[in-house]
Amino acid sequence: MSRYDPECIFCKIAAGHIPAKLVYKNEHVVAFHDLNPVAPTHVLIIPQEHIPSLSQLSEADTVIAGQILLAARVVAEKTGVLDSGYRVVFNNGPDSLQSVGHIHAHVIGGKSMGWPPFPGREILHGQD
Ligand code: AMP
Ligand code: ZN
């Protein structure tokens, strides 16, 4: 089954309808450079099919989920960060600042990073 959302920018990239700097592609996923990189390596991996976010993943998407993680390794290798280290991030929902509603993994590397990853706003839920 193929899922395509004509309003979704990442569906358009996957279909080749708008350009992106591709790093890797197979029948399940596409990896391309982020338009606004936050590190020397900043690549997005998306499934070819439209899945809005991690929260919408189902058992039927097991192959896609695995393919995204395997592609992260390929991207790390291709961008030269396999040994220096890299972070794989799925933003999911408002608190994480997910801005594109088509599931994507950020592969970030090429610089040392901090932890924890939330230096910005401090809004805690369920507390005063
Ligand atoms: P997120 O905030 O996790 O939803 O990440 C969305 C990412 O998509 C951001 O880092 C954007 O810079 C990136 N982005 C948005 N549009 C494009 C595009 N047309 N090509 C490449 N990256 C994009
Ligand atoms: Zn989409």
Cα distance between the two ends of the chain = 46
Residue 35 near ligand 1, beta carbon < 6 Å: yes
CA 94 – CA 72 distance, rounded (Å): 24
Domain assignment present for residue 21? The answer is: yes
Domain assignment present for residue 89? The answer is: yes
pTM for this model (two decimals): 0.94
Ligand nearest to the CA of 14: 2
SS3 for 1? coil
Give me the CATH number covering residue 59: 3.30.428.10
Residue 34 near ligand 1, beta carbon < 6 Å: yes
pLDDT in tens, 59-93: 999 999 999 999 999 999 999 999 999 999 999 99
* Alpha carbon separation from 111 to 50, 97, 115 (Å, rounded): 31, 22, 13
Confidence of residue 109 (pLDDT cuts 50, 70, 90): very high
DSSP 128: -
User: In the predicted model, what is the mean pLDDT of residues 16-35?
Assistant: 98
Q: How many domains does the chain have?
A: 1
Domain assignment present for residue 126? The answer is: no
Count CB-CB contacts under 10 A for residue 37.
13
Residue 82 is part of which domain span? 9-109
Domain assignment present for residue 28? The answer is: yes
Domain assignment present for residue 127? The answer is: no
